[in-house]
Structure 1
Amino acid sequence: MASPRLDLISTKIIKPSSPTPLIHRIQKLSIVDQLNPCSNYMSFGMFFPKQYNPTLLVDPTHISTILENSLSRALASYYPLARTIRDDGLHVECNDVGDKFLQAKIDCPMSEINHSSSEAEDLVFPKDLPWTPSK
């Protein structure tokens, strides 16, 4: 079998649905975060298999819109996630910059991906995107 191919459909910055209150704009990083700056950047991938239901045709764009709105609402509640780290390395500025939302499609059933190998990781986190250790 040929190696599965990942096609990037869209990339967006999702902003919080409401602004961070002014009293919460600057947060001090914990000592753990100060000592381990790599932990301040975390990427994760979520897999949503396509469900086949002949009576219910679900448009992937509709599902993506639901996920984007959900992320926007979550960022309003967890405002430190839509932030930047200040140059001093001691503070987080909760400035509502938002988070990157990528929509992609894999050209094979997810059941055919070997999840225990690096193949799945390479599909979800391609080497040329910002979460690589060099960036």
Structure 2
Amino acid sequence: MAQLNINILSNEFVRPLSPTKDPFKKYHLSVLDLDQSMPNFFFPVIFYYDHDQTTSTTQLELSSRLRESLSQTLTMFYPFAGRLNRADNSIDCNDTGLRYLEAKVDSKITEVIKRNDAQMVDPLIPNLTGNGEEEDEIFAIQVNYFSCGGIAIGTYVPHKMADGLSFFSFMTTWAAISLQHAYNNTLKQGRSEDEKLSGADSNLFPVYDVDFGMGKPVWTSIGSLNIKNCAVLLDSKCGDGIEAWVTMNQQDMARFQLAFDYQSKLTCMNKTS
């Protein structure tokens, strides 16, 4: 499996459900955000979900639910639907909308997870690094539908626009609203009220609790980072550790891997002694 075959189904903007009020139309970036010495780093995070065989929800229904819940979420996170104003280094919260793409992937989601290849999954992430108006957009989302029924939600947000805490706060809020919609639909269809909503735990970045109503992620990864000598730390799926995504040149990576393997062996020896 060399490369993902992806077909973009739609490319549009999702706007906040309620218009942003005049006192909040301008969001000024902090001095740290405007520091030109900072690298132009962005979060290429992807959430992977298996096909939920217990539900009769169609792709069209799921698509509609994700859009509606996203629109509600943007009412609270309105700067993400705005545009960067380079003249005064601020965000114009004009409700222009967050770029939202849907794509069809001619592969099984398990094939992608097994490869564990950051560059291979890059097509699952929306890209706003081109020239023109796209560079002034704050946030972009791409929902990818796999041939097996699995789904991957790819996200793009520059670090200067939002830090990790803001990003995951947005994602968990969007997921919670979508999950509530799914729960309400379940009750309308006459299914058991004993089904409980799942919520995020107290972890800082609870990536494996981002449940949109199709179960928790089976995997969370990042795409290839656009800067070197960088590490991104995410909660591990088991819940009692972290996953480290590290970028560096090939020679340093070899040394890093050797040191990591040596430390792992020492840890195992200490446990057995």
When normalised by structure 1's length, the TM-score is 0.79
Q: Is the 8 A contact 1:43 1:131 kept in 2?
A: no
Equivalent residue for 2:117?
Answer: 116
Whether 1:25 aligns to 2:25 is yes
Q: Report the Cα distance in structure 2 between the residues aligned to 1:90 and 1:43, rounded to whole angstroms.
A: 23
SS in 2 for 1:61: helix
Deviations 1:56-102 (A, max 9, x none): 43211111111101110111101111111113242211100111111
1:30-49 aligned at under 5 Å gives the runs 30-36=30-36, 38=40, 44-49=45-50
For the Cα contact (< 8 Å) 1:14–1:98, is it kept in 2?
yes
Distance 1:7 1:48, change over 3 A: farther
In structure 1, give the amino acid aligned to 2:30. Answer: S
- 1:93 maps to a residue whose letter is D
Tell whether the 8 Å contact from 2:83 to 2:93 is kept in structure 1 after alignment.
yes
CA distance in 2, matches of 1:78, 1:96: 11
Matched, 1:64 2:69: no
Q: Show structure 1 runs of 5+ residues with no match.
A: none
Select the structure of larger CA radius of gyration.
Answer: 2
Q: Which residue of 1 aligns with 2:251?
A: none
Tell me if the contact between 2:4 and 2:121 (Cα under 8 Å) persists in the aligned partners.
no
Report the alpha carbon displacement of residue 48 of structure 1 after superposing the two structures with TM.
3.5
RMSD over aligned CA atoms reads: 2.7
Q: Which residue of 2 aligns with 1:96?
A: 95
- Secondary structure (helix, strand or coil) at the match of 2:48 reads coil
CA contact (8 A) 1:83 1:93 kept: yes
- Offset of 1:3 from its aligned partner? 3.6
**CA distance in structure 1 between the aligned counterparts of 2:130 and 2:44, rounded to whole angstroms:** 10
1:52–1:131 distance in 2 versus 1, CA, 3 Å: farther
State the distance in 2 between where 1:46 and 1:117 align. 13
| Helix, strand or coil at the partner of 2:87 | coil
Rounded Cα–Cα distance in structure 1 between residues aligned with 2:8 and 2:60: 13
Match of 2:128 among 124, 127, 130: 130
Distance 1:42 1:133 in 2: 19
Tell me which residue corresponds to 1:50: 51
Percent identity for Structure 1 against Structure 2: 22
Residues in 1 aligned to 2:53 and 2:129: alpha-carbon distance in whole angstroms: 33
Contact 1:42 1:131 in 2 (8 A): no
Q: Deviations over 1:13-71 (max 9, x none)?
A: 101000111111112111121115846x7665443432234xx4321111111110111
CA 1:42 to 1:88, structure 2 compared with 1: closer, same or farther past 3 Å? Answer: farther
Change in CA separation of 1:77 and 1:116 when aligned onto 2, cut-off 3 Å: same
4+ residue runs over 6 A deviation: none
Letter in 1 for 2:20: T
Answer yes or no: is the 8 Å Cα contact 1:34–1:89 preserved in 2. no
Structure 2 CA distance for aligned equivalents of residues 34 and 50 of structure 1: 42
Change (3 A) 1:125 1:12: same
Where structure 2 has 5 or more consecutive residues not aligned to the other structure, the ranges are 136-273
Contact kept in structure 2, 1:125 and 1:131, CA below 8 Å: no
Assess if the C-alpha contact under 8 Å between 2:6 and 2:103 holds in 1. yes
Aligned counterparts of 1:42 and 1:22: Cα–Cα separation in 2 = 30
- Contact kept in structure 2, 1:13 and 1:100, CA below 8 Å: yes
